[in-house]
Structure 1
Amino acid sequence: MDTHDSGVARPVLEGPDIARVLTRIAHEIVERAKGAEDVVLLGIPTRGVFLAQRLAAKLEEIVDAAGGSGRKIPAGGPGRKIPVGSLDITMYRDDLRMHPPRALARTDIPSEGIDGRLVVLVDDVLFSGRTIRAALDALNDIGRPRAVQLAVLVDRGHRELPIRADYVGKNLPTSLRETVKVQLAEEDGRDAVLLGAKPTAPAGER
């Protein structure tokens, strides 16, 4: 998750680019998992949830296409729905005392649960790694997956914790003076990843 700013920004990914990288990530998940039989996608609100839903749809397309071509992919067969949900990490953050109270988002775990399954956490931007640490803590209170992987649309660097994404849409080297803003049609009316400069405070406010 990343703070959205109001500064001038330029697009580094637009709608067709985002669609392509999500398709690539879906294929990488199928390849690494040798199918999608026990895959569960959990998005981190807000935009991570929308990305998880899109990835689930692409995984289902891959499974259906494989079944129609006669290729053997152990994914439950054509027409299988990929379980997808959301994981709110608000109460697990380590910066609660440093920010105003946050509204709780929704945690929605698929009826299949996560025990013994491959859980892929999905988020829009990987930055310090603290959001993902909180997500792992939240996940630990819900169940015991077979394994946990991480898919992000953008990795902007500047990690503060030893956390690495398994699937990355775009590696985007940034400075701490820059902001990364992800826009998705479900929330923002358009698909884009914008790179901008943090607004400079007036001299009297520094």
Structure 2
Amino acid sequence: MTAAERREQITAGIVARTGITEAMIEQLVHAFYAKVRKDPMIGPVFGSRISSWEPHLAQMCAFWSSVALMTGRYHGTPMVKHMPLPIDAAHFDRWLELFEATAAELCPPDAAAHFIDRARRIASSLENGRRERTGRDAWGWREIQAKRSRSSAMRNRAKAIARAIDGAWFHQDQADPFSGSSLVPMLIIGLALTFAGMIVAVVLS
């Protein structure tokens, strides 16, 4: 079986299971974007970047054909196109809310459930992708990671000092704390405690 034949088999199985057709996809896409264009939150995001809607709608029909029916009609790069947009989690939520409402209004239950499942995956993928590529740098993620690494190293050193202090106190337990042989361990303990306090202050700052 060739790859094309395998794809056709997969598409036929989805159609049989959900009842989704290319005509249904076209109806859903057009109705959904009619709502998007009127929406006060996400409408301006699309309106400021799309001057001709017919080509965009045709491309979205191909996209949803690929997503819902696995036809392979779409060959674009959604992540790249969404990266520069001024959007956040609230915009993704609103996009998903409008899409789910449209699918529930126009499609049979099995088809609507299939569309909605794919839409949720798309929203999650795009949102996570934007967070990975822009959010970390925007919020100084590299510096946060570096600080965490430094803090972890300091905590490990503090634990080592604490273990040494425990050992010193254990061995001093049977000695006279004011004898000559005990003064050196006590001095070491005092210095260690001071250093440990400095480390804790840095970690917590």
* Larger relative contact order (CA 8 Å, sep ≥ 6): 1
* Structure having the larger proportion of residues in helix: 2
Mark the structure with the bigger radius of gyration. 2
Q: TM-score range by the shorter chain?
A: under 0.3
TM-score, with length taken from structure 1 = 0.24
